Structure formats: structure tokens, C-alpha cells
Structure 1
Amino acid sequence: MEYKQKIILVFVIVFIFSLNFPSHCFPQDSSSSGNKLEKAIWLYQHENYEEALVLFKELRTEEPQSASIAYYRGVTYKKLQNFLEAKPDLETAATLEPKVKEAIPELIDLLYQSEDMEGAKKWIAVAEKEAIAPAQTAFFKGLVLLKEGSAPDESIKAFEEAEKLDASLAQTVSYYKGLAYVQSKNFKEAKNVFNEIVVQQPATDLAEFANEYISILKRQEKAMRPFRGSVGYSLQYDDNVILKPNNEDLAAAASDKEDWRHVYTAQVEYNFKPVETFGTRASYSLYGAKQFDLDFYDTVSHDFALQPAFYAKKAVIGFPVHYNYVTVNDKRYLEIIGISNLNNVMIGNDKMVQLLLQYNIKDYAWTVTSEDNDRDSNEYLGSLGWFYFFGRNKEGFFNLRYAMNKEDAEGNNWKYLGNRLTASATVPIVKKVKWSVAGDYFRQDFSKRNTTYDKERHDDVFTVSNLVAYEVFDNFEFQLQHTFVNDAASIGIFKYKRNVYSIGAKYQF
């Protein structure tokens, strides 16, 4: 969207300056005139900027006190995107007497494009004082205020003044007013402005850009709702529910390993943000899996979380706490209590770094066969992730993450140090279809020799997942997913492969 805003701005500025360029300086027929200045201006008018610049350089040397020549050389440099050379010429044209008034709007535009907002504001004040190009000046004032982001209401006033002074700017001014309303978080008024552009100018590029902002605003409004959630259902086929070892000799006593299951999910959350810099989110998530035949593996998980967070301009610092309760075969299996520190820092508009520190207490309820197989533990985890957002509205992303965890279990057979590398991406294929893919490598180095099998143990777990989602209508999507797991463990009984195929749907509210 930022790139498209620049395109719109270029067209607008070209249009504005075409209305105000001092055309009286252009000769009617340069071939009949030997005047070097007239020839240079004629070349400029016909977009032959390089040849025009050669003549303007000669004229500037011959007449260093001419504001007019300084102006023409300055705008020629500007057309060639040489802002460094254009700036002193335009400043000279705006200050030498008699000054060229048209130099001031050109100079304001140059400073705006060069990200010199303080310089632009200085010359806007001069233009306002001397009543130079009032409509242009008001429009640029609105752009500068919008760029600074500190006074969106003042930006809207400036745009309205520009429209009042020059009705031909109305369509473009409406678009930038919409952006200012977005900046002030007045999403309702912004949507009204963009909808009006779409209705009045349906076949224009401006309408296309406005439509994209309407889609963005819908997502932002949804994200800012205090209460939201989702429900989902999928039918899954799992070709190794029981994690049967690859070696048939080791799994001789194992029964059927394949099964279908129903999977139900639900998630609700409430967001409370009393001030701009602080907020809290409370959430509950449910996962339920009901096997067709292997009832022993029926699983239900309840997760409760509370996440207070502090918000800065480019960063969010959160302190989530959560409680997870899991049952298997209708019996209490696992409880986890965890506390974390989660830090998200934006870099520019399309990159984010994420740092997570977490501590979990795990309590397994089932009776253990020996002390060495007691899985109750304290887990220490840290991860560092990098996100890159892409797509027309930044709806796609690529994520790379490294994590390390230490599982300090009560039983020696379950103490390990883990290293994990994960790469994932979500790619918009067409407007209503997105593809999510993830690859994960997890290395577990167990610190003690396994007493059950009298062997050193390390696991290399590879996971690949693909999901295609189709948005049937707003907030409702159809999903197809495949997940493959390969645990290349050093002890044969833990070595297995697994495929899970899923078809389902999800509704968000």
C-alpha cells in the first residue's frame, strides 16, 4: 500500500504543477528563436531534460543572479531525481529578487519527497504568509502532517482547505482524508470516505486503492473487537495413532495403529485496553479428539491464558501466564502451569523480531513404571523468531525461528536438552485462497543413559505440514491439511513415522 500511495502522490503532484507551471515562458516555436533560455525551456517542456540541463548550466554560469534560470535548472534537476542539486537552485529561486513564486511549491514537494519534514514546514509557512499557490500549499501541509502522524485532525483540516480552494483536487483529497482518519483510528469515517470514492469513481485506480483499504479496515476492526473467537471441526485420518515403531519386530505386541477421528476446536478471547500503552487479553482454547475405534486415545485439552502487555510505537512487551489441563481416555493426564515474557519488535513496516522466554511446570498424572520414567518436570524455554510480511496488504508472511528448551524431569529417562529450528510461511494464492507450509527440526539430547533399554538416547524429529484454506464467505473457511512426522530416534522403540490427513472448516466471530 505504501508503494501505491507514492504512485498516487506522483500523479497528483504532476497534475498540480501542470496547472501552475509558468507556461508564459515557453516559446511558440523554438526553431525560430536563437534565444538559449527559450530553447532550454522548450526542451524541458518536451521532456528532453538532459539536453535542457546542459543549456541551463551554461545560463546559470552566465547569469548567476537570475532567479528564473535558477528555478528552471532546479526543476530540471528535480525531474531527473537529482534532489541534492535541485535543492540549492530552488532555494535561490525562492529568495533572490525578483523571486520566482512557483519555486516554493516545487521546493516543498522536493523536501517532502526527501523526508525533510522540518524543511517542508518552513517553506509551507512562507507560502501561507505570502499567499503563494494556496490550494497546493494546503495540500502539502496536509501531506506533511499525515507523514508526521502526530496531528491527523490538523491534516484533515488542511486537506479540506485544499479542496475548498481547488475543487479539482476533491477526489484525491478524499483519499488522503481517508488515510488521516485511519491514522486517527476513526475507522468508521475512513470507511465512509473510501466507500464514497468507490461509488463515485468505480473504474479508477483510486477506487481500487480505496477498496484495498476498506478490506484492511475490516480486518483492523475485527482485530480491535474486545470479544472474538472461533470454532472449528475437522475429520482426520491418522496412520499411526499409537506411534508404533518402524521396526515390526519391536512392535509385535502393538494392535491396530490407524484410525479416523473427529476433532473439535474452539477459542474465545476478551481484550481490555484501558489506555494506549497497556492492555490485557484473557483467552480460553478447547481441543477435543474423538477416535472412531481407538477410544483409549481420545484426548481433550483445555487451555486458559492471561496476557498483560505494554505497547510502544514499534514494540509490544507481554507477560503471558497460562494453565493447560489435558485428559486422555477421560482420565486426567497432564497439567501445565506456565509464565512467559513475549517481546515483539517491528522493524520498518514489513519485518518483526520476536523474543520469547518461558517457564513451565508439568505434572503428569498417570502412574509411572519406575522412578526413572517419571515425566514430571520443570521446563525452561527460549526462542528467537524473525518475521517478514509481504503481499498487497501484508497478509502473507515468512517466519524463521530458533528455540532451545531444557526439560528438567524427575525421571532420568526424560531429562533432555532440545534445539529446534522452524521455518513457516503463509502465501496468498488468490484472493480467497491461502497456502500455509511449515518445516520443523527438533533435536533432543537426553542427558542420562536410558535405564529401560540401557542405551544413550537422542531423537531427531522432522515435521512437515501443508494447509490450504479457502474462504467460502466472510469469516468462514474450508481447510485441507497434511502433516508428516518422522522421529529418527537412536532407540528403535521410539523411532516412528506418521501421516495425518485432515479436512475441515473454521468459523471466526
Structure 2
Amino acid sequence: MKKLILISLIISFLPFIPKIPEVRAQLPVTLEEGIRQYQQENFEEAIEILTQVRKKDPSSPQAAFFLGMAYKQALEFTKAAQHLRDAATLRPAIREAVVELIDTYYQMNLLEEAKKWLELAEKEKIAPARIAFLKGLILSRENRNQEAIAAFEKAKQLEPAFAQVADFQIGICLIKDRRLDRAKDRLQAVISKDPLSDLATFARQYLASVEEGLFLERPLRLTVGIFAGYDTNIVAKPLESSAAGDITDEEGTTLTTTVRLDYVPRLEGPWLFNAQYTFASVVNSKHTHSHDSLANSFSLSPGYNFGRFAVNLNLNYTNYLLRTDPDLVPAPDSSPGYKHYLDYVSLGPAIRVFLNQANLLEVFAGYEVKNYYNQKITGPDSIRDAEGLRTYLSWIWLFRENAFLNLRYDYTRENADGRQWSNDGHRVSANLTLPLMSDQTARRLGPLTLQLAGSAFFQDYKYEVNYGTVTETRKDRVYVGSLGLAWRFYKYASLIGQYTRTQNKSNVPIYEYNRDQYALGLEFRY
């Protein structure tokens, strides 16, 4: 924001040196001295002299004009506006004062006052090119970017000398509208017109940000992850030895591979769309014939942006394959391949509300269906197929650049075909992403980011069930915490390390366990 203010000041002042009214020969010496001091950029001396002149002759529009201009150059905009307004209303009025007054109100962010004088200037045809440019600045600050672009284009047509500065402002408008391809073209035009100018220097800085944005917002994005890990409890071995039975070798190494393809086209207008495909594979060094898995997920999310809020229709489908033997007591030499294990579908609308530039609220309410295959079924009550309501409420706080905090509440209701699996679930979670390096260090060494996450899942089953050793209405309390570091050592690659701790507390001993998972790997983005 500070950079934009500085740029707007440079743009406002440099191209526009006010014309000195042609009555100078008849002016008193003290007024001429004040004007001379102003022209020599001795603004304090000019203010002192012209203030005395105004006291002696309050009706002088020339004294009011140059005193206002001296205050403006000294960045004392409130005093500048007072005297420029006098210069524009005293008789004979100074037409240039109207232009400078509009610009002063713009610098003070008094846009409604600026627009009143802008209307007068357009009616009186005062400095049409500069008035068109100032109109563009005001519209841009109001985020009426398309109208602002039209005004800047008009300024270029009326006065070719405005081409570079107008193209720069058009580029800024296009950035705000996320039309980065066109913004890049405009900024390159600014640089080519005068490569050594201050404006070209600013344009290069914005161009670097635009090119980074084009990479991050490219329509088609590929992410590949390969992670080696160690899992202390692959099979969720119960804590109680009586419940664990003869389960052994629960610890082992793992290899997780993920591929994600995102398609997010840049659409003109308010329409939104994104699609995603994800492949995930987990291979274990032990219990590989019962716990290795493959997952393929597809999601579509068309939507419409209403300005302060957006509405999307979220559709998700996931197909899980598991190396499993549906027999209750597999043969000792059983070596099952991947079998169709689960189809999961969810559908529902999501509403995102932009509370301000740093806070985003999202609400989702939908329906989900789970169909299991090759289950180990002991009876009708153990069938896991389920459907029911799924909702969540999420808040994201962008509290600094590249850092955010996400708090979320999820509710699920699973009405299963088997009484054993019907449940209500409540999950609260928090995620924090925080850069650990200064911008300067990150540019030199690559960004290092801390990732913290935690959740608590309260799952209450609906019916009392005989679990063999105990008859209970099952209640699980699952607590998960993770700590991760991500170092982007190359534009397209990151090194990621993560530790995750899971504690599942349950009133049914066979479901109570602890688990520690360690992972280290590489993630590539294209």
C-alpha cells in the first residue's frame, strides 16, 4: 500500500507542472517573489511570502493558487486544498486550480469531493487529458477497474505524453482484476517506452510479481510428492494387550506417492470453475497384503462470484483400492491383490464470504454416500455402507504475507446399513502456516515455512453393540497433532519433513491406540 501511495504521488506531480498565469507582469513584487521562490522549489520560503500576500489581498486568485501549490508540494494537503479551492472560486478563477484541487482531494482520499470538482472540470472542458487521467485514478481507487481503464485510454488518446504513465495505471487495474496476462503486456510496454525512468523501475517490480502470480495461477498445475516414512502402528494395534491379542510387527517403513492435477481456468467475468484429480499410493514394508492402498479422487467446483461473497457447487468422488482378503480368517499364504474397497461421493453448495482483505469465512452443507466392497462381514450389523449429512464452517485469517491461520468445525452424520457403524461426528481443527525467514533471506536461500496442525474428533455411535469382550455404545475421541517444515529450495521443488501423533481414546478397548508417523520427502510443482 505504501508503494502505491508513493507511486501515485510521483505520477501526480511529475508530468504536470502548473502553468503560470500570464498576468505576472502586473503582479506586485511580493507576489512575484513568492512565485519565484516556488519555481526554485524553495517551498517554505514561498509559503511564508505568499501567506503574507494573501493576508494583504485575500481576493487574489494568483496568490491563493501558488500558496496552495506550495503547500501541495510540501505534502500539506489539507492546507493546499483550502487555498486551491479559493483559487478555483475567486474571480477571475484560475482553471488550473480545479485540476490541482481534484488531485489534492485524491491524495487525501476524499474521493466524493474530488468527483464534485471532476464533474465541473469535464463540463468546463478544463485540461481534458489530465482530467481523464485523474478520473481513472479515482475510479481505480474505488475498484471500478474497467471504467478506470477506459478513462486512462482516453487520456492517452487526448495526450500521447500520457502513454507511459497511463499504461502503468492500466497494468495496476488489470492486476487488481487478476487479468495477469494483459497486465504483463502493459507493464512491459511501460518499460519499453523509457527503460531508464523511475516509472519503468516500478513497472519492473510489479512485473516480477505478475510473473510469479502467472506461475501460481496458471490454469493447469501438476504437483508430485514422494515421501518415505516410518509408522509406529500400521495396523492400529490396541493399547490393551488383552485386546491386541497376537498382533505383532505393527511398526514399519512406508512409501507415500501422490500426484495432483489442478485445472483452474482464468474466466472473464464473475463465473468460477476448478477441477482436480488426485492419485495417492501408500505402500508398507509390513502388513503390505492388508494395508497397502491406492486412491483416485476427482472433484469439480463451478461457482459464481457476487463480489463480497461467492457460491460454489462442490462435487467430490473418491475410489479406494485396498490389498485385502474379505475372508474373516485368511489362509496363511494369502497374498491378495488390490480390490475395490470404497466409493465415496459428496455433493453440496459452499458459500465463501470475504469479510475483508484478511478474513475469509466459508460454509458448506452437503450430502455424502459411502459404499464399501469386499468387507469382512460378521452379520447384518457390521455392514458399513452409509449416507448422511456433512457440513463445515471454516475461517481463514491471512494475518501476514504468505501466512495464515485456519479454524474449522465439521459435522457428519453417517446412517449406516449396519447398526454397528451409525454415528455422529464433530471435529474441530486448526492449521497454521508461518514463514520462518525474512523476505530477503527467503529470496536468497528459498522460503522455509512452519506448518502446525491439530484436530479433535468426537465420534459418538448410536447403538449399543456387543464387541465380544464388551457391550457398549461406542464413543471415540481421536486427537491428532502434526508439525512440519517445508523448504522450497528451488522454484519447482520443496523438501518437506513432518511428524504426526495420533491418539484414539475409546470406551471399546479394541479401538483404542496410539500412533506416531514420521515422513520426509520431496514435492515438485509444475
Instruction: Name the CA distance, whole Å, in 2 between partners of 1:206 and 1:265.
Output: 43
Partner of 2:235: 242
Report deviation, 1:426. Answer: 2.4
Q: Tell me: CA distance 1:136–1:208, structure 2 relative to 1, closer, same or farther (3 Å).
A: closer
2:515 is the alignment partner of 1:489: no
Partner of 2:26: none
Instruction: Name the CA distance, whole Å, in 1 between partners of 2:228 and 2:207.
Output: 36
- What is the TM-score when the length of structure 1 is the normalising length? 0.80
Partner of 1:327: 321
2:408 is the alignment partner of 1:401: yes
Report deviation, 1:364. Answer: 2.2
Q: Aligned letter for 1:368?
A: I
The one of 226, 236, 239 equivalent to 1:233 is 226
Partner of 1:149: 145
Partner of 1:283: 276
Partner of 2:457: 442
Partner of 2:334: none
Report deviation, 1:196. Answer: 6.4
Output aligned runs, 1:211-226, within 5 Å.
Answer: 211-220=205-214, 223-225=217-219
Report deviation, 1:450. Answer: 4.3
Partner of 2:331: none
Q: Tell me: CA distance 1:208–1:374, structure 2 relative to 1, closer, same or farther (3 Å).
A: farther
Deviates more, 1:195-204 or 1:4-13: 195-204
Instruction: Name the CA distance, whole Å, in 1 between partners of 2:121 and 2:252.
Output: 77
Instruction: Name the CA distance, whole Å, in 2 between partners of 1:203 and 1:275.
Output: 33
- What is the TM-score when the length of structure 2 is the normalising length? 0.77
Instruction: Name the CA distance, whole Å, in 1 between partners of 2:184 and 2:368.
Output: 44
Partner of 1:179: 172
Report deviation, 1:297. Answer: 0.6
Report deviation, 1:160. Answer: 3.3
8 Å contact from structure 2 (residues 180, 210) kept in 1: no
Partner of 1:385: 394
Instruction: Name the CA distance, whole Å, in 1 between partners of 2:266 and 2:199.
Output: 37
Q: Tell me: CA distance 1:351–1:114, structure 2 relative to 1, closer, same or farther (3 Å).
A: farther
Partner of 1:363: 371
2:346 is the alignment partner of 1:338: yes
Q: Tell me, what secondary structure is at the counterpart of 1:254?
A: coil
Report deviation, 1:100. Answer: 4.0
Q: Aligned letter for 2:429?
A: T
8 Å contact from structure 2 (residues 130, 155) kept in 1: no
Partner of 1:460: 477
Report deviation, 1:67. Answer: 4.4
CA offsets, 1:121-180, max 9 Å, x none? 4434544666756665454233124332132542442553687347xx94x555323224
Q: Tell me: CA distance 1:206–1:236, structure 2 relative to 1, closer, same or farther (3 Å).
A: farther
2:250 is the alignment partner of 1:254: no
8 Å contact from structure 2 (residues 149, 170) kept in 1: no
Q: Tell me: CA distance 1:412–1:13, structure 2 relative to 1, closer, same or farther (3 Å).
A: same
Q: Aligned letter for 2:89?
A: T
2:4 is the alignment partner of 1:5: yes
Partner of 1:29: none
Output aligned runs, 1:154-169, within 5 Å.
Answer: 154-158=150-154, 160=156, 164-165=160-161
Q: Tell me: CA distance 1:319–1:131, structure 2 relative to 1, closer, same or farther (3 Å).
A: closer
Deviates more, 1:495-504 or 1:145-154: 145-154
Q: Tell me, what secondary structure is at the counterpart of 1:151?
A: helix
Q: Tell me: CA distance 1:109–1:5, structure 2 relative to 1, closer, same or farther (3 Å).
A: same
Q: Aligned letter for 2:3?
A: K
8 Å contact from structure 2 (residues 190, 199) kept in 1: no
Partner of 2:362: 354
Instruction: Name the CA distance, whole Å, in 1 between partners of 2:342 and 2:90.
Output: 81
Report deviation, 1:360. Answer: 0.6
Q: Tell me, what secondary structure is at the counterpart of 1:375?
A: coil
Q: Tell me: CA distance 1:153–1:76, structure 2 relative to 1, closer, same or farther (3 Å).
A: closer
Instruction: Name the CA distance, whole Å, in 2 between partners of 1:129 and 1:197.
Output: 31
8 Å contact from structure 2 (residues 481, 502) kept in 1: yes
Q: Aligned letter for 2:255?
A: H
Instruction: Name the CA distance, whole Å, in 1 between partners of 2:426 and 2:485.
Output: 28
8 Å contact from structure 1 (residues 235, 503) kept in 2: yes
Structure 2: gaps of 5 or more residues:
24-29, 324-337
2:447 is the alignment partner of 1:433: yes
Instruction: Name the CA distance, whole Å, in 2 between partners of 1:215 and 1:204.
Output: 17
User: How many percent of aligned residue pairs carry the same amino acid?
Assistant: 24
Report deviation, 1:253. Answer: 1.9
Instruction: Name the CA distance, whole Å, in 2 between partners of 1:232 and 1:353.
Output: 29
Structure 1: gaps of 5 or more residues:
26-32
Instruction: Name the CA distance, whole Å, in 2 between partners of 1:257 and 1:47.
Output: 81
Report deviation, 1:289. Answer: 0.8
Report deviation, 1:339. Answer: 0.9
CA offsets, 1:261-301, max 9 Å, x none? 22121222445677634354443221111112221210111
Aligned residue pairs total 491
Report deviation, 1:495. Answer: 2.5
Report deviation, 1:92. Answer: 3.6
Partner of 2:517: 500
- CA RMSD, Structure 1 to Structure 2 (Å): 4.2
Instruction: Name the CA distance, whole Å, in 2 between partners of 1:498 and 1:23.
Output: 83
Q: Aligned letter for 1:451?
A: N
Partner of 1:479: 496
Instruction: Name the CA distance, whole Å, in 2 between partners of 1:474 and 1:382.
Output: 36
Q: Tell me: CA distance 1:423–1:205, structure 2 relative to 1, closer, same or farther (3 Å).
A: farther
Q: Tell me, what secondary structure is at the counterpart of 2:503?
A: strand
Q: Tell me: CA distance 1:274–1:396, structure 2 relative to 1, closer, same or farther (3 Å).
A: closer
Partner of 2:305: 311
Instruction: Name the CA distance, whole Å, in 1 between partners of 2:203 and 2:237.
Output: 54
Instruction: Name the CA distance, whole Å, in 2 between partners of 1:255 and 1:48.
Output: 90
Instruction: Name the CA distance, whole Å, in 1 between partners of 2:484 and 2:405.
Output: 15
Q: Tell me, what secondary structure is at the counterpart of 1:457?
A: strand
Q: Tell me: CA distance 1:345–1:368, structure 2 relative to 1, closer, same or farther (3 Å).
A: same
Partner of 1:28: none
Q: Tell me: CA distance 1:256–1:184, structure 2 relative to 1, closer, same or farther (3 Å).
A: closer
Instruction: Name the CA distance, whole Å, in 2 between partners of 1:52 and 1:354.
Output: 57
8 Å contact from structure 2 (residues 342, 372) kept in 1: yes
